[in-house]
Structure 1
Amino acid sequence: MDEKLAFQIRQISKYYERLKGIAQTSREDYVNNSILQGATERYLQLCIESCINVGNRLISMLQVDQQFEAPKTYADVFRELEKHRITQDLEPAMIEIAKFRNRLVHVYWDISPEVVYNIIHNNLEDINRYLKQIALYVTDNNL
């Protein structure tokens, strides 16, 4: 497997597991723990960025043989993956996750702990599905 791709896949897995562990925290304990909130936001940001990096790496590796459009936005990364059937039924969810990454980075002061708590409870599985679909594609195509 491509070394850069393998590294980013491991990163997604690592951050996903950390976030999954944090999701075991009760809502009350989470809302009252600013250190846990900060760590969660950072792990979520890094996890999403790793998803974007994996998509970008795959697109760059496959551009030679296939007609990929160079992504102009993070959302475009997930559109291209779906268009070329690398992922299936994940485009809307991953685009929303990418939008949330932008909020984490650029509007961090306006993110409530409840929103992040809801994301790790309601959207974390989308990242896991993405990870599984990418890993399957990479394996099936000897990348």
Structure 2
Amino acid sequence: MRVLHHMQELQDAANDWKRYQSIPREDFFSSRDTRNMVFHAMMVAIQSAIDVATDIIAEERLQKPATYRETFEILGKNGILPDPLARELSALAGFRNVLVHIYWDLDLEQIYAILQRDLVFVEDFAEVIRKHLS
């Protein structure tokens, strides 16, 4: 199952994200290498969640999403994700697009806040999906 591969990628990237939460604020703001490491872990975690959602949508023959954000909305509409979690993950999918496409003009304050605050949504997603698959 492809979804299991993506779940492992998600777990690995979430573990990295969790480790990076201990990076002191001043190190994050002063070190480009540190920021790039954080950006990568966040991007891989979010992309892996998108890939898992897309796999489930395909396997269960649900409505095809038009955007990455919509993948989580579809899982919410179909009762796979609680609506509040679907909304948070949809917002993270939008953030992933910013990381990928506007990396030269990122709001570092916002990214540091997301680093500290939003991992819980990725972890909750992984837990809900594990239960859904079992």
- TM-score scaled by structure 2? 0.95
Q: Which residue of 1 aligns with 2:34?
A: 36
Distance 2:49 2:85 in 1: 12
Distance 2:47 2:4 in 1: 15
- How much has 1:114 moved relative to structure 2? 2.3
Question: Identity across aligned pairs (percent)?
Answer: 24
Is residue 2:113 matched to residue 1:118? yes
Distance 1:98 1:132 in 2: 18
Q: Gapped runs of 5+ residues in structure 1?
A: none
Q: CA RMSD in A?
A: 1.0
| Alignment deviations for residues 85-107 of structure 1 (CA, whole Å, 9 cap, x no partner) | 11113121011100001101111
Distance 1:115 1:20 in 2: 17
Q: How many residues align?
A: 133
Q: Per chain length, whose mean CA-contact separation is higher, i.e. which structure has more relative contact order (CA < 8 Å, sep 6+)?
A: 1
Q: Which entry has the higher C-alpha Rg, 1 or 2?
A: 1
Higher helix share: 2
Distance 1:7 1:71 in 2: 21
After TM superposition, the runs of 4+ consecutive aligned structure 1 residues lying more than 4 A away are none
Paired AA for residue 123 in structure 1: D
Q: Which residue of 2 aligns with 1:5?
A: 3
Q: Which residue of 2 aligns with 1:24?
A: 22
- How much has 1:115 moved relative to structure 2? 2.0
- How much has 1:76 moved relative to structure 2? 1.2
Q: Which residue of 1 aligns with 2:91?
A: 96
- How much has 1:123 moved relative to structure 2? 0.8
| Alignment deviations for residues 66-122 of structure 1 (CA, whole Å, 9 cap, x no partner) | xx2111111110011011111113121011100001101111111133222111111
- TM-score scaled by structure 1? 0.89
Distance 2:92 2:31 in 1: 23
- How much has 1:24 moved relative to structure 2? 0.7
Indicate which of 74, 81, 104 corresponds to 2:75: 81
Distance 1:94 1:8 in 2: 16
Q: Gapped runs of 5+ residues in structure 2?
A: none
- How much has 1:46 moved relative to structure 2? 1.1
